[in-house]
Amino acid sequence: MRLSRGFVPTLKETPTEAQIASHRLMLRAGLVRQTSAGIYAWLPAGWRVLQNITRIVREEQDAAGAQEILMPTIQSADLWRLSGRYDAYGPEMLRIRDRHDREMLYGPTNEEMITDIFRQSVKSYRELPQNLYHIQWKFRDEVRPRFGVMRGREFLMKDAYSFAADYDGAVIEYRKMMLAYMRTFQRLGLKAIPMRADTGPIGGNLSHEFIILAPTGESQVYYDAAFERIDPASGEFSFDSESDLARFYERLTTPYAATDEEHDPAVWEGVAEKREGRGIEVGHIFYFGTKYSEPMGLTLAGPDGRPLVPHMGSYGIGVSRLVGAIIEASHDEAGIIWPDSVAPWKAALLNLKPGDSACDAICMEIYARHGGDLLYDDREDRAGVKFADADLMGHPWQIVVGPRGATNGRVELKRRASGERVELTLADALARIA
Amino acid sequence: MRLSRGFVPTLKETPTEAQIASHRLMLRAGLVRQTSAGIYAWLPAGWRVLQNITRIVREEQDAAGAQEILMPTIQSADLWRLSGRYDAYGPEMLRIRDRHDREMLYGPTNEEMITDIFRQSVKSYRELPQNLYHIQWKFRDEVRPRFGVMRGREFLMKDAYSFAADYDGAVIEYRKMMLAYMRTFQRLGLKAIPMRADTGPIGGNLSHEFIILAPTGESQVYYDAAFERIDPASGEFSFDSESDLARFYERLTTPYAATDEEHDPAVWEGVAEKREGRGIEVGHIFYFGTKYSEPMGLTLAGPDGRPLVPHMGSYGIGVSRLVGAIIEASHDEAGIIWPDSVAPWKAALLNLKPGDSACDAICMEIYARHGGDLLYDDREDRAGVKFADADLMGHPWQIVVGPRGATNGRVELKRRASGERVELTLADALARIA
């Protein structure tokens, strides 16, 4: 995209309403604009990041054998009465009456709806196990929305729902999601640690939340250095092998890990290699047995024809929250430092002297070849402005084309994360980025 | 996907609530399930179709220079008071009060919100023209939702909004969208005809709706055969050339075209090559000048420093409606006939005898190589059931593996649209599909 023609409204001033780094940087870098309290519009750069994260989440869900669907945002209150949650859910649920005065709601989660869809469609235990997921906007009417997209009201979530014949089958689905989550966060450039958690309003017997490490995170975390040696994408763990999944689960759940709320200094004492840091919750998984399937009448024909009530689990990732979380984990004084996998553009192309024929020619050659991956800063602005905006926006690479180098066919390549700069021929620079 | 493990719940019976072909077929082929009146969940096969359509719409918007963003579903009533539409809009608008009793609404369209975002971000005429689009769920609280996704309440729409310095600039944006729409519908396997239209609640001076031809369409259309000779993707028309756009516009708007409401028999008399058919509206574009920019205070610094109020247009495509419209345009007694570009899977792989070692071996070889594009019917079911389901689901190709052919390394390939069947070696069949 050519920046002179693009809708990338960066801000020089720090917006006063933003209390945390990611919120400030998302506004300043032109990723989002607030449209109401806790509700945001995603501008082109922010939308590209959100799409990149969505794609990685989707690929890992698919790899784990989950199937993508899309459930609507608006649900009937009647469904939630079947589970008893319509009254149990507090004022965070956005309740709506339609023109016929029917009670509806903007879904904060989908256990009831997926159970109802499954009940209409599946008749036999032979069709188990299944895991269905969607990536859809949710609404939680927070009293005080804050921290930008980290605690907004309308937010994008990936939620998956598994159905299995019994406890043992449900545990396999749970472990698959655990592996998928660890692979997902690793691809997003994050270090994630699963922690045993309360089940809260979802209910159930087994639950883990996934905390990613970020220096400005919301809670203190204590963990065993053993986590640093787990590579979920090593090929050592396959979704198709029950023993791999069991081994992975053990590796993930045996070493010590706790947030400050759950921290146990006596046990911590015995951990050989201690690590501490700050963390942000970005995922939460639940096994809850027949909590929804039973009251909602989801009964299949079991082996021997006896009725079988499936055991369920649900698995959430805060997709829009992750944009903020990644920035919290990866930024400096000058701005965002995007991991390559989620950056809106792979590189910024900085033309330091638009109108100079050598600069323009080199830039056009690069842009013609890699236009889709580049943000071409062709604005008639001072070099200092361009450098500052590129650092702020956090492109993994900057290709700097100035009049001196351009006449010799040379450009400067800067890696945002390390600050390393090298002067290269055009061909070498292109090869380096690709 | 393996059908035995997939969530593709086809129905043998025709659901009684469905009055039109696309609604019946979408339920029977397991594409969607209704979750409330006029609100649908998209199951894996339906979701894949919707994603394919979305991708094509997006590619053509991008090619026309529009930039993708995402605005939220929930909007503040205050924004709509600025334009005067909050009171003007009838009971089709879903009005909501949040926990602080603030008036909100589920957006049926986004003219107000985009004008507000643009006002916050753009200061100078130099940044014009721009066209911003999003593909987002909308809500219109229809009194009697019917015809499945063709007239649902929660529906997916692509809406674009252009900003230009004056009328002439706005007309160029309008024509770009016209070209993009014609290319989009052609790629979706549809024949579209633009018709001069009323501007309705959006307001404005110039408007066209896009009607696609379908034998079961909602209205009668009369048009000049000249439309059949226009190829928007021929390379003859470039988005970057004003004269191409003007020529394209003239080609599209000169020949006679009207729905029965607007039909003028006297003019029709003079059309040399007459065509008649049934049609479905799938897109609508508007130029409305300063109808929103002026009352909402969108003023930029113009040349010579004088204030400039941008001229705007908006451009909608009914993305979820298109799924129904494509089926109305392309089905037969046995089921759906998907155009290749939108089919959920390129081919069905029918194993007529699971358990037969030759059949299983050939199927596994095909599936291993093309798994992502195939729906592998590995169910232990009669051949007749598999044939019927494959016809119902409308895969462009069927690869039929039976025990007799399999022992000789041969399969049967059926083209759904023509019904043509040929027996081929495995290698030839694979080459033919790819």
* Radius of gyration in angstroms for the set of CA atoms belonging to chain B, rounded to a whole number: 24
The structure tokens 């999601």 sit at: A177
How far is it, in rounded angstroms, from Cα B53 to Cα B342? 6
How far is it, in rounded angstroms, from Cα A286 to Cα B368? 33
CA distances A207 to A194, A202, A254, Å, are: 10, 10, 15
Residues of chain A in contact with residue B33, where contact means CB-CB under 8 angstroms, are 117, 120-121
The alpha carbon torsion through A302, A304, A307, A312 (nearest 10 deg) reads: -30
Q: Do B68 and A44 touch (CB under 8 A)?
A: yes
Length of chain B (residues)? 434
Query: Which candidate from A35, A47, A122 shows the least CB-CB separation from B68?
Result: A47
Chain B contact present for A75, CB below 8 A: yes
Q: Do B113 and A9 touch (CB under 8 A)?
A: no
Q: Do A117 and B35 touch (CB under 8 A)?
A: yes
How far is it, in rounded angstroms, from Cα A195 to Cα A10? 38
Look at A110-119, A179-188, A214-223 and tell me which has the smallest mean pLDDT: A214-223
Q: Do B69 and A41 touch (CB under 8 A)?
A: yes
Please list, in sequence order, all residues whose beta carbon lies within 8 angstroms of the beta carbon of residue B175, skipping any fewer than 6 positions away: B245, B246, B248, B249
Q: How confident is the model at residue A430 (pLDDT cuts 50, 70, 90)?
A: confident
Q: Do A75 and B35 touch (CB under 8 A)?
A: yes
Chain A contact present for B99, CB below 8 A: yes
What angle do helix axes A426-433 and A357-370 make, rounded to 10 degrees? 30
Strand partners, B76: B104
Would you give the end-to-end CA distance of chain A in angstroms? 18
Strand partners, B7: none
Residues of chain B in contact with residue A8, where contact means CB-CB under 8 angstroms, are none
* Contact criterion met (CB below 8 Å) for B220 and B257: no
Q: In the structure encoding, which two tokens stand for residue B310, read together? A: 């941008």
Structure confidence at residue B370 (pLDDT): 84
Query: Which candidate from A65, A72, A143 shows the least CB-CB separation from B99?
Result: A143
User: Min CA distance, B17 vs chain A (Å)?
Assistant: 16
How far is it, in rounded angstroms, from Cα B341 to Cα B161? 27
Compute CA B399 distance to the chain's CA centroid, rounded to the nearest angstrom: 28
Specify the DSSP class assigned to residue B254. Answer: S
Structure confidence at residue B321 (pLDDT): 98
Please list, in sequence order, all residues whose beta carbon lies within 8 angstroms of the beta carbon of residue B325, skipping any fewer than 6 positions away: B22, B150, B190, B212, B214, B280, B282, B318
Structure confidence at residue A203 (pLDDT): 67
Please list, in sequence order, all residues whose beta carbon lies within 8 angstroms of the beta carbon of residue B418, skipping any fewer than 6 positions away: none
- CA quadruple B4, B8, B9, B12: dihedral sign: negative
* Contact criterion met (CB below 8 Å) for A2 and A376: yes
Structure confidence at residue A144 (pLDDT): 92
CA distances B200 to B3, B79, B287, B288, Å, are: 46, 20, 12, 11
Chain A contact present for B68, CB below 8 A: yes
- ipTM comes to 0.96
Q: Which of residues 154-173 of B touch A (CB under 8 A)?
A: 154
Q: Backbone phi, then psi, for A31, in 5-degree steps?
A: -85, -40
Q: Which of residues 392-411 of A touch B (CB under 8 A)?
A: none
Structure confidence at residue A253 (pLDDT): 93
Compute CA A46 distance to the chain's CA centroid, rounded to the nearest angstrom: 13
Please list, in sequence order, all residues whose beta carbon lies within 8 angstroms of the beta carbon of residue B109, skipping any fewer than 6 positions away: B138, B157, B159, B202, B314, B316
For residue B328, count CB atoms less than 10 angstroms from its CB and return exposed for 0-12, middle for 13-18, buried for 19 or more: buried
User: Min CA distance, A5 vs chain B (Å)?
Assistant: 6
Q: How confident is the model at residue A197 (pLDDT cuts 50, 70, 90)?
A: confident
Compute CA A324 distance to the chain's CA centroid, rounded to the nearest angstrom: 9
Q: Do A9 and B75 touch (CB under 8 A)?
A: no
Q: Do B72 and A39 touch (CB under 8 A)?
A: yes
How far is it, in rounded angstroms, from Cα B233 to Cα A60? 36
Q: In the structure encoding, which two tokens stand for residue A104, read together? A: 């509806």
User: Min CA distance, B347 vs chain A (Å)?
Assistant: 18
Q: Do B99 and A91 touch (CB under 8 A)?
A: yes
Strand partners, A414: A398, A421
Mean pLDDT of chain A: 95
Q: Backbone phi, then psi, for A431, in 5-degree steps?
A: -65, -40
- Of B135, B188, B137, B184, nearest to B158 by C-alpha is B135
Structure confidence at residue A202 (pLDDT): 66
Q: Which helix (H) or strand (E) holds A158?
A: strand A154-164
Specify the DSSP class assigned to residue B124. Answer: B
Chain B contact present for A17, CB below 8 A: no
Q: In the structure encoding, which two tokens stand for residue A133, read together? A: 């997921």
pLDDT digits (tens, 9 = 90+) for A205-243: 799 999 999 998 989 999 999 999 999 999 899 999 999
Q: Which of residues 250-279 of A touch B (CB under 8 A)?
A: none
The three-point CA angle B270-B276-B277 to 5° equals: 160
Does residue A61 or residue A218 have the better pLDDT?
Answer: A61
Residue B344: is the preceding peptide bond cis (ω within 30°)? no
Per-residue pLDDT tens, chain B, 434 aa: give them: 999 999 999 998 888 888 899 999 999 999 999 999 999 999 999 999 999 999 999 999 999 999 999 999 999 999 999 999 999 999 999 999 999 999 999 999 999 999 999 999 999 999 999 999 999 999 999 999 989 999 999 999 999 999 999 999 999 999 999 999 999 999 999 999 999 887 776 667 789 999 999 998 889 999 999 999 999 999 899 999 999 999 999 999 999 999 988 899 999 999 999 999 999 999 999 999 999 999 999 999 999 889 999 999 999 999 999 999 999 999 999 999 999 999 999 999 999 999 999 999 999 999 998 878 999 999 999 999 999 999 999 999 999 999 999 999 999 999 999 999 999 999 898 888 77
Structure confidence at residue B203 (pLDDT): 67
How far is it, in rounded angstroms, from Cα A288 to Cα A295? 13
Residue of chain A with shortest Cα separation from B118:
A7
How far is it, in rounded angstroms, from Cα B351 to Cα A37? 55
Q: In the structure encoding, which two tokens stand for residue B308, read together? A: 């400039």
Query: Which candidate from A76, A102, A141 shows the least CB-CB separation from B98?
Result: A141
Q: How many contacts (CB atoms, under 8 Å) link A and B?
A: 148
Q: Which of residues 286-345 of B touch A (CB under 8 A)?
A: none
User: Min CA distance, A39 vs chain B (Å)?
Assistant: 7
* Contact criterion met (CB below 8 Å) for B74 and B105: yes
- Of B319, B286, B416, B406, nearest to B355 by C-alpha is B406
Query: Which candidate from A30, A69, A113 shows the least CB-CB separation from B42?
Result: A69
User: Min CA distance, B395 vs chain A (Å)?
Assistant: 19
Chain B contact present for A124, CB below 8 A: no
Residues of chain A in contact with residue B117, where contact means CB-CB under 8 angstroms, are 33, 35, 41, 43
Chain A contact present for B149, CB below 8 A: no
Sort strands A397-401 and A410-415 into parallel, antiparallel or unpaired.
antiparallel
Chain A contact present for B36, CB below 8 A: yes
Q: Do B154 and A70 touch (CB under 8 A)?
A: no
pTM score, whole prediction: 0.97
Query: Which candidate from A33, A73, A117 shows the least CB-CB separation from B73?
Result: A73
Q: In the structure encoding, which two tokens stand for residue B16, read together? A: 């009684």
pLDDT digits (tens, 9 = 90+) for A340-374: 999 999 999 999 999 999 999 999 999 998 878 99
How far is it, in rounded angstroms, from Cα B388 to Cα B346? 17
Sequence letter at residue B50: L
> 10 Å Cβ neighbour count for A100?
9
